[in-house]
Amino acid sequence: MTARVRLGALAITAAAATAVPTAAIAAEYGSRTMREGTSGTDVKRLQRYLTRAGFQTTADGAFGPRTARSVRRFERADGRRVNGVVPPRDARAIRTAAIETADQETEATEPTGTEPTATGRATIDENGLAVAPADAPAAVKQVIAAGNEIATKPYKYGGGHGDWNDSGYDCSGSVSYALRGAGLVRRPMTSGDFTSWGRAGRGEWITVYAHGGHVYVKVAGLRFDTSGLREDGTRWHETKRTTDGYVVRHPSGL
């Protein structure tokens, strides 16, 4: 190998070793400005939100010219500066538009009022336990993991209110236990307590439905509910139920 070739190879190796990627591949949605050339999981979520809001976009995680075009279409429709760049405040606006569009579709097609999730959806395995979607926030996965701990325990009136670790749980004890997994409640709450918990309306990932006599929670598209236990005895359900008469609440940011 000649000296010139050796020097060229060393230069390439050094450049590769010191190269820094221009975009993090696992950035939290809305934590940074996204523009052409950005890539990562937050870009994929942006693309999904754009599609849900009515601006069809391929969800490949790469912010290219087509994604920029969809962003500009949203900006025009929303009366924003048209530049194809998505700062955190615009990312939040696009997510809100996606959720509102999903809610409108739900009201038109699902009289029960249950909400679709704009991102991933949890599933139920053969043991009656929930499997969290890969793109769920850590708090959602923690709620699902906590729910799984008691998913097949028997219903017990007042269960879960005297002690977190109980032989059985009632509706509010069950919901309290699951939410405690992510630190969203500090003490067992009654169904009535949940009518003023968190923030009003549906959440993106977690929504609580409560009135004075009953409470259940939807997590990543699954219902965690002591009402109508399945044959395998799990609290997790894929089926819908009416929300008439329920107060709808959600934790901030979820």
Tell me the average confidence (pLDDT) per consecutive run of 10 residues in the chain, 254 residues long. 45 38 62 93 89 82 93 86 93 82 45 42 86 88 93 90 89 94 92 91 91 92 81 78 87 87
Question: How far apart, in whole angstroms, are the C-alpha atoms of residue 249 and residue 41?
Answer: 27
Two tokens, residue 245: 């008469």
Residues in the chain: 254
Note the pLDDT of residue 86: 95
Question: How far apart, in whole angstroms, are the C-alpha atoms of residue 239 and residue 244?
Answer: 16
User: Is 151:217 a contact under the CB 8 Å cutoff?
Assistant: no
Note the pLDDT of residue 19: 35
Note the pLDDT of residue 228: 66
Question: How far apart, in whole angstroms, are the C-alpha atoms of residue 57 and residue 55?
Answer: 6
Gyration radius of the chain's alpha carbons: 23
Where in the chain are all domains bearing CATH 1.10.101.10?
A: 22-109
- Model confidence, pTM: 0.54
Note the pLDDT of residue 23: 39
Which sign does the torsion angle of CA 126, 109, 98, 146 carry?
negative
Q: Supply the CATH classification number for the domain 22-109.
A: 1.10.101.10
Q: Single out the residue of 99, 171, 185, 170 nearest to residue 139, CA to CA.
A: 185
Where in the chain are all domains bearing CATH 3.90.1720.10?
A: 123-250
Q: Supply the CATH classification number for the domain 123-250.
A: 3.90.1720.10
